Amino acid sequence: MSASRLEQLRAEVRARAENRPGVYRMRGPSGEVLYVGKSVKVRTRLLSYFRAQRGEKGAEIIGHAHGVEWDYEPSEFAALLQEFRHIKRWRPPFNVQHKRDNSFCFIKLTREPVPRLLVVGHVINDGAEYFGPLRGRQGATAAVRAVGDLLELRDCSSDTPMRLADQIELFRLKEDPRCMRGQVGRCLSPCAGGCTRTEYMARVNQARDFLNGVTDQPLALLRERMSMASRRLQFEYAAELRDRAETLERVQAELLEIGQFVERLSFVYTVPGHDGEDRAYVIRRGSVRAESAAPRTPHERLALEATVGEVFERPEPAMIGLRAHEAQEVLLVARWFRLNPGELERTVPVVTFPARGPALGAVEAPSPSGRGLG
């Protein structure tokens, strides 16, 4: 960027920006969003870019910028949410935050005619089911491999042709399984007519129930094999199966803990704002479902309670995993309360009365404990 352009941007920030919470955007020559950031003091933060030294990220960002714009928000929490939404909307090239968190992984149950279990580093809105987030890809991968072997689910690539037994074909030829697991009887071989769709989906449902903590069927199968190996004096194999069982137990326990943690992130959170612009956020399972100005009159409180009722009366699937479209926001909200535990004192839990539906309760808000999500 030329020195004159840089000075022009700096003069604009000095003249117009205020030290208030907000979100700012750096735009390129064609108006494209290059970077989105937030700060509790927008003016100070923007001016720091012009002092950045060569080689620093701030200098690189401002060096590519042809325009700077900003919007004020009532609080740091509001700015955090708005920054997240802007990054999801524009996918700026200089933003790496919120795109992927490499410290977490997820177990993914694909949405395919013949589903698979995978370990992935992030979620996308593809209709699949995601379980997690989990810390440690190695343990998650071992758990997926164990569940897949026990329930004989396929682990081949997505483009592998499937030939289920209930598919009607004229002059069908007998086919051999396409992988070694199928040839040794460790896969149902849906690629070679080894099972019907109903039979395969029954195993998929068992895997889903295990990840949701509804059943321990895979563990029961593993323990049965372990007992049989011991009776046959196959002690090394029995020890290997014991290690697999411990891995499955650990992953299932971690998923249950995360599910319980997310359920506790359900409340109304009132945040004081700049110049009295207080806001109330209706949060369900760690996801912000509604927001409005904080109520100041009985009428406004009734309106908020009606909103709470609408949010919490909506049926949601019984699951401990995170849905793709909300996972990143849940991680963001969980991290906020982990780093600012005092903010939990501003929350009011939602109490459900059978005759009236959800309402704002007056009991003490639960405090997330354990490892949590961030």
- 188 within 8 A of 195, measured Cβ to Cβ: yes
Dihedral sign (CA 332, 333, 339, 340): positive
Q: Buried b vs exposed e over 196-232: b needs ≥16 C-beta within 10 Å?
A: eeeebeebbebbbebbbeeeebbbebbeebbeebeee
- 81 within 8 A of 93, measured Cβ to Cβ: no
CA distance 83 to 111: 30
Cα–Cα distances in Å, from 81 out to 78, 89, 197, 287?
5, 12, 43, 11
Helix (H, G, I), strand (E, B), or coil: what is residue 231? helix
Element (H, E) at 284: strand 279-284
pLDDT of residue 127: 84
pLDDT of residue 357: 59
CA distance 135 to 101: 11
CA distance 207 to 201: 10
Residue entry with tokens 């012009």: 50
DSSP string, 338-349: HH-GGGGGGEEE
Helix (H, G, I), strand (E, B), or coil: what is residue 232? coil
* ω into 349 cis (within 30 of 0): no
The rounded Cα 192 to chain-centroid distance in angstroms is 35
- Structural tokens at position 40: 């509790």
pLDDT of residue 360: 66
pLDDT of residue 322: 63
- 27 within 8 A of 64, measured Cβ to Cβ: no
pLDDT of residue 136: 85
pLDDT averaged per 10 residues, the chain (length 374): 86 97 97 97 97 93 96 98 94 74 81 95 84 88 93 93 78 69 87 92 94 89 91 91 91 87 91 96 95 96 95 77 70 91 94 58 41 47
Could you tell me the strand order of the sheet in which 357-360 lies? 287-293, 279-284, 267-271, 347-353, 357-360
Q: Give Cβ neighbours of residue 249 (< 8 Å, ≥ 6 apart).
A: 219
- 331 within 8 A of 101, measured Cβ to Cβ: yes
pLDDT of residue 98: 46
CA distance 325 to 338: 22
pLDDT of residue 365: 38
